[in-house]
Amino acid sequence: MTYTVKEVFLTLQGEGAQTGRTAVFCRFAGCNLWSGREQDRAKATCTFCDTDFRGTNGPGGGKYPDADALADRIASTWPTQDSGGRPYVICTGGEPLLQLDVPLIEALHRRGFEVAVETNGDELKLVYPQPEAPPEWFAQLDFQHFFLQPMDGPDAEAHTRQAIAYCIAHPRWRLSIQTHKLLGIP
């Protein structure tokens, strides 16, 4: 399989249960919920996306001919000195599960990486508020962590106040702010 990747870079995780952890981000190009083009946003299933996932022109971006080639690129991004800590990669997008597959996960594991996927899994992060996706619809799902992330944009301050109020009233939910944006890191 050929993998189409927007970018591969080293940073700190800015959201969720792993906030602050050093991570390699592998951002796959493409999404099934929005084209990534502003002229299509109003008609998209996901109208609030704040990520550029189009093309392959980011750092480390490109087309990788197989799982080992992409896993090698990801591994080369991790600090090479005896840095301690388990190597950690976050597969994101767009929608990573359009491309992420067992051969790539196995190749990353062979290189010692713990693999996270920003789509669904042990933790649920719900952008809030969304009238068509209220938290009550998701509260009974089998997740270890439940996060509300205030929707970014011109009303971000109001959305943050609403998310805080919701979390206080519904303790199962935890507030997840985009700390990477506050810190000015990718």
Q: Out of 26, 31, 91, 167, which one is annotated catalytic?
A: 31
Residue with the two structure tokens 């990353």: 108
Query: How crowded is residue 77: how many other Cβ atoms within 10 Å of its Cβ?
Result: 19
Task: Tell me if residue 91 is catalytic.
Answer: no
For the chain, give me the number of helices (H) and strands (E)?
4, 8
Task: Tell me if residue 25 is catalytic.
Answer: yes
- Residue 58: the pLDDT is 97
Q: Out of 52, 145, 179, 180, which one is annotated catalytic?
A: 180
Mean pLDDT (10-residue bins), the chain, 186 residues:
97 92 97 94 88 96 98 95 85 93 97 87 86 92 91 95 97 94 90
Using CA atoms of 98, 103, 109, 115 in order, give the dihedral in degrees to the nearest 10: 10
Measure the CA–CA gap between 115 and 109, rounded to whole angstroms: 8
Task: Tell me if residue 51 is catalytic.
Answer: yes
Three-class SS state of 53: coil
Measure the CA–CA gap between 181 and 50, rounded to whole angstroms: 11
- Residue 143: the pLDDT is 87
Task: Tell me if residue 180 is catalytic.
Answer: yes
Q: Could you give the domains of the chain?
A: 3-117 (3.20.20.70), 123-183 (no CATH)
Q: Out of 2, 45, 46, 109, which one is annotated catalytic?
A: 46
Three-class SS state of 122: coil
- Residue 81: the pLDDT is 66
- Residue 121: the pLDDT is 55
Task: Tell me if residue 50 is catalytic.
Answer: yes
Task: Tell me if residue 22 is catalytic.
Answer: no
Q: Out of 51, 72, 106, 179, which one is annotated catalytic?
A: 51
- Residue 64: the pLDDT is 98
